[in-house]
Amino acid sequence: MLKTIKSIIQREQFFPWFLGFWVNPFYFARKGLYENISILSNYIRGDMLDIGCGQKPYEKLFNSSRYVGLEIDTIENRKNKNADYFYDGITFPFRDNEFDSVIANEVFEHVFNPAAFLNEIYRVLKPNGMLLMTVPFVWDEHEQPFDYARYSSFGLKHLLEESGFEVIEHKKSVCDIRVIFQLFNCYIYKKTVTKNVYANLFITAFLLSPFNILGELLSKVLPKNEDLYLDNIILTKKKISG
């Protein structure tokens, strides 16, 4: 029974629905990512590379024939990440034109040399291969000290096109009053989080859930603001050079 409850709570961290109001401090951000990735997931198929895969939370959304997870080679990552390969942070350990699709979820802000990173993705993608990225726009510093940048929709498009990618679709996730409530909940959670998972659930259920619910309700009646949003979700295609 306890194992089932734990499994449900873990699922709600990346696929939040009704229960997520009470157990997920990042409810709006994670729900927005899940919904937008789901919409674009049909473009991602074949041999697929997940860069910065973590625990591969979105793997089941993609109809891939081969799913490969990649992480930076550190002791912590080898212990805690569900990666198939590890690399030095510079060169991916794969052949040129090896993958039909690449995804990178909430990774690009941790890349110190974005052009070199995109060039590696371009190298391992097949011609006309697809790249799906999610990149935060409004968010606090995290995973310090390896948090290097925030990208507007225009900056992200410019970097991708300079690296040889054609933008197919660009979505802005959570572009309404929920941005404010998500940031407020992040502030509270960061100042109250403990090492005890049950204490953290209590904090979320009693301190944060009212703001999740209020933010959801107000988003139904207040206007959107396309200039203020949590995440970029961008689908691109590798252009054939020459």
Quick one: tokens of 140?
């606090």
Spatial CA neighbour of 16 closest among 204, 195, 161:
204
CATH architecture assigned to 2-238: 3-Layer(aba) Sandwich (3.40)
Q: Give the residues across from 67 on adjacent strands.
A: 48
Asked whether residue 8 carries a pLDDT value surpassing 90, the answer given is: no
List, for residues 62-107, the tens digit of each pLDDT value: 999 999 999 999 999 999 999 999 999 999 999 999 999 999 999 9
Rounded CA gap, 232 and 106, in Å?
A: 9
What pTM, to 2 d.p., does this model score?
0.93
- Once rounded to an integer, what is the mean pLDDT over residues 109-128? 97
Question: Confidence band (pLDDT; 50, 70, 90) for 59?
Answer: very high
Rounded CA gap, 139 and 179, in Å?
A: 9
State yes or no: cis peptide before 223, omega within 30 of 0.
no
Query: So what's the pLDDT on residue 25?
Result: 96
Rounded CA gap, 159 and 235, in Å?
A: 13
Residue 221 one-letter amino acid: V
Q: Using an 8 Å Cβ cutoff, are 90 and 116 in contact?
A: yes
List, for residues 134-156, the tens digit of each pLDDT value: 999 999 999 999 999 999 999 99
Q: Quote the mean pLDDT of the chain.
A: 95
Give the start-to-end residue ranges of the domains of the chain: 2-238
Quick one: tokens of 114?
């974005």
List, for residues 147-183, the tens digit of each pLDDT value: 999 999 999 999 999 999 999 999 999 999 999 999 9
Q: Is the dihedral of CA 13, 17, 20, 24 positive or negative?
A: positive
